[in-house]
Amino acid sequence: MVAQNKKARHDYAIIDTYEAGLVLTGTEVKSLRQGRTSLADGFVQIDGGEAWLHNAHIPEYHQGSWTNHSARRKRKLLLHREEIDKLESKAQETGHTIVPLALYFKDGRAKAEIALARGKKEYDKRQTLREKQDRRESDRAIAAAKRKQRGQ
């Protein structure tokens, strides 16, 4: 795992996820391997039947020369035609967007996990946090009860 977009899982309700290849230059791959990437402001847009990743920050490679890349350029995503068509039709619905969730390497190739998502309202975010906190507290209580039971 090179980079994760934790904010996307907080701000959006994830409907469906896809794995997409990335078209990168050599210095981008080397910079990705150093692991200083940020997806916080990233989003996916479909233009002319092609999926593009915008605003993903891959910093310049330090040992790169004049062949270095710009940090926030748009990058092409490699998806099947049916997936692109499905994403495009769903993204045009009100409140839906396509966000990047993670960047990682799989068999030596850079991959992006993208998701079709619906924006959460503020009260939904609070409710999700409350449920997560309640789950954590109940797990702690169960673990403490088991420890106490083993001790007797």
pLDDT tens digits for range 74-86 = 899 999 999 999 9
CA dist 53 and 60 (Å) reads 17
CA distance 8 to 42: 9
pLDDT score for 40: 86
Q: Which residues of the chain have pLDDT under 50?
A: none
- Collapse the DSSP code of 79 into the 3-class scheme (helix H, G, I; strand E, B; otherwise coil) and give the result: coil
